[in-house]
Amino acid sequence: MTVYLVGAGPGDPGLLTVRAAQVLARADVVIHDRLAEVSLLDLAPAGAERIDVGKSPGGPVDQDAINRLLVERATRGQTVVRLKGGDPFVFGRGGEEAGALIEAGIAWEVVPGVTSAIAAPAYAGVPVTHRGLSTSFTVVTGHSRHAVDQETNWKALAAAGGTIVVLMGVAHRAAIAEHLMAGGLTPETPVMAVRWGTRPEQRTVRTTLAALGATELAPPVTIVVGPVAALDLTWFERRPLFGRRVVVTRARADASALSERLRSLGADVIELPTIEVTDPLDGGASLRRAAADLTAGRYQWVVFTSPRAVERFLPLLRDARSFASASIAAIGPGTAATLESHSLAADLVPPEFVAESLVAAFPCADGGGEVLVPRAAVARDVLPEGLAAKGWAVEVVEAYRTEVGRPDPAALEAAGDADAITFTSSSTVTNFVAIAPGVVPPFVACIGPITAATARAEGFEVDVVADEHSIEGLIDALVSGLRAVPS
């Protein structure tokens, strides 16, 4: 089998390469460092073994032991991914691991990663090269005093000009500054230091070479020295939710779209799934029968109240012809979009994305007729009762069940320090109360009035309610509301 030496990038999971994701998806074992973004491990198969060999400051792991582990697992016939922060060959000791694999006759491949030497400055708004300021850059390590004092020719670096990027140099920053000034750089030379570059925790400090030693810094930090460090092309830290920690309470399978959108706006997202989706109690027998009845022409309308109901029901049909002359109604743009992804257009989408609005917009039965409503086992009775009042015979079929989620304890602990929490249904509210009793979120954002009413009934102060009862509407309300709250 093959050992893949894979660069995990600097921290932002979006910077992982396509090739890295591909090899992670087929790994038998992932041997990983102390990663800035542990969610990357979720890209490996659920059954893949994950082995932490991370090097923490002050506690180095024996590199020979890591080399032996790579060889031993590959010899077993396993596909091994050696996941390393940044790039494997930029101060990552990937060359030593490759040498050990070659000596053992093990097939191997390197998957380069985005190095923090370039990414961290870029996310801080500093290009390492810039016309008129720098036509070259040098990357050096300051991880040990011996490396700083004996291994690096700082005088030559100072004389060469261009940009100097220092990795792992926080502990010896004063000595580095002294060496560079002794080599000819002026005390006023601009310096930029970025901590946790590319992550929501990113913080940027600007100083000078003379003041670097006295500047308060804590690892991990990327230090940039040179004229480009005076540039301020900030973009990452100006995003509307930058530095805000936001809790997403949706079921894990539904959370990705909301989480990704929040991250794109700068938020540090904590996924705290308060809901777990399970099969109907009858194993789906009633849903399969309803699908057969639809094909046979029994129903005049099918009403979908959620994207999940669509995904549970449509696979039971042969194709779109099963709807024949039946019309389709959908509550909310998400549900309508899910139908569209299956080449089905909803005939009715109410102006407000709640059951009451659908009932108001629904036609009265002309001489009777039947409506199928596949939905969650537990839901409000507003829809079936309202349609029945308009003369329809309504059959509600259990498409799925929801249970209280069991989130990771670490996520639950982190949620206690969050800036805001999002609720996308009444069940996310009630389940959150069950999971985290006594926890009162400082800022509550609800997708609609029904969810907001449930939150208030549970004793929460609701700060914002989406005007449009959709994920985008919820995000807009959250961004607008948090602007008025000091970070």
Q: Which of 28, 87, 168, 419 is catalytic?
A: 168
| HSE of 402, CA atoms in CB hemisphere, 13 A | 24
Interatomic CA distance for residues 318 and 214, integer angstroms? 71
Q: What CA–CA distance (Å, rounded) separates 282 from 230?
A: 66
Best CA proximity match to 222, nearest among 198, 189, 194: 194
Pairing of strands 163-167, 137-141: parallel
pLDDT recorded at residue 57: 52
d(CA 71, CA 316): 48
From 12, 28, 33, 254, active-site residue: 33
Domain boundaries, the chain: 2-114, 118-237, 245-274+405-483, 282-403
Confidence (pLDDT) at 344: 95
Tokens of 12: 């932002």
Distance CA 340, CA 461 (A): 36
Distance CA 119, CA 198 (A): 7
Contact 364, 300 (CB under 8 A): no
CATH number of 245-274+405-483: 3.40.50.10090
Question: What crossing angle do the helices spanning 426-435 and 449-457 adopt, rounded to 10°?
Answer: 30
For 413, counting Cβ atoms within 10 Å of its Cβ (0-12 exposed, 13-18 middle, 19+ buried), the class is exposed
Q: Is 55 a catalytic residue?
A: yes
Q: What is the pLDDT of residue 391?
A: 93
Query: What is the C-alpha separation between 443 and 449, in angstroms, rounded?
Result: 16
b (16+ CB within 10 A) / e for 263-302: bebbbbbbbbbbbbbeebeeebebbeebbeebbeeebbbb
CATH number (2.60.40.1180, 3.30.950.10, 1.20.120.1630, 2.60.40.420) of 118-237 reads 3.30.950.10
pLDDT (tens, 9 = 90+) of the chain, 487 residues, equals: 899 999 999 999 999 999 999 999 999 999 998 876 788 998 999 999 999 998 555 555 789 999 999 999 999 999 999 999 999 999 989 999 999 999 999 999 999 999 999 999 999 999 999 999 999 999 999 988 888 888 899 999 999 989 999 999 999 999 999 999 999 999 999 999 999 999 999 999 999 999 999 999 999 999 999 999 999 999 999 999 999 999 999 887 777 889 999 999 999 999 999 989 999 999 999 999 999 999 999 999 999 999 999 999 999 999 999 998 899 999 988 899 999 999 999 999 998 888 899 999 999 988 789 999 999 988 889 999 999 999 999 999 999 998 898 888 888 888 888 999 999 999 999 999 999 988 888 999 999 999 999 999 999 999 999 998 889 999 999 999 999 888 7
Q: What is the pLDDT of residue 416?
A: 84
Query: Is 168 a residue of the active site?
Result: yes
Give the whole-angstrom CA distance, residue 402 versus residue 423. Answer: 15
How far apart, in whole angstroms, are the C-alpha atoms of residue 79 and residue 95?
Answer: 19
Asked about 33 being catalytic, the answer comes back as yes
Architecture of domain 2-114: 3-Layer(aba) Sandwich (3.40)
* Identical fold, 118-237 and 282-403: no
The CATH number of 282-403 is 3.40.50.10090
